[in-house]
Amino acid sequence: MLLFAAQVAVREPSATVYAPPTSPMVSSRVLPILDECKRETESDEHERDNGYSEEERQLALLFGEQTAIADEALAILTWVYLGEAPSEDLDHQISTRGKRMLPYLIKYRVRCPEILERYPVRMRLPEATRRSALRSLLRSMRKGEVVGED
């Protein structure tokens, strides 16, 4: 009996819970951005063309798409550190799309997108930061507010 009590007290560290696999269409929209994020985190040099990085160009293309595929891709990116300005732009774009984003944000609220398995964990936002930012974004969206500015 005592042995059982000791075993219960020792808990395994919690593993990441992943969401169901991302569709190929959504993956095709988010992979170029994730690849650029990875490249930028592994390098001190950030190539810029006309003041914009490839990551920022890919994000701008995604922001211009008003489809369910783009909506889900944006929700996936809430798990990733994109940089201060791109992250603010992401929140703004998500909030301008309004309540149609809620199912995707809720889907990935606590379950990590499985597509992120292939990328370094250091690309992800710290859990407490991500949850706090998402809570704030969801609160604003439920009120119909737009976060940030164009």
Collapsed DSSP state (helix, strand, coil) of residue 144: coil
What pLDDT shows up at residue 2?
A: 43
Tell me the pLDDT of the chain (150 aa) as tens digits: 444 444 444 434 456 788 888 899 999 999 999 999 999 888 766 555 556 788 999 999 999 999 999 999 999 999 999 989 999 999 999 999 999 999 999 999 999 999 999 999 999 999 999 999 999 999 999 899 999 876
Sign of CA dihedral 103, 129, 115, 76: positive
What pLDDT shows up at residue 52?
A: 75
Global pTM exceeds 0.75: yes
What pLDDT shows up at residue 8?
A: 40
CA distance 30 to 13: 29
CA 70 to chain centre: 13
Cα torsion through 131, 118, 122, 80, rounded to 10: -40
- Domain coordinates of the chain in residue numbers? 22-42+52-142
What pLDDT shows up at residue 148?
A: 86
CA distance 129 to 127: 5
Collapsed DSSP state (helix, strand, coil) of residue 52: strand
Which pair of tokens denotes residue 63?
Answer: 């922001």
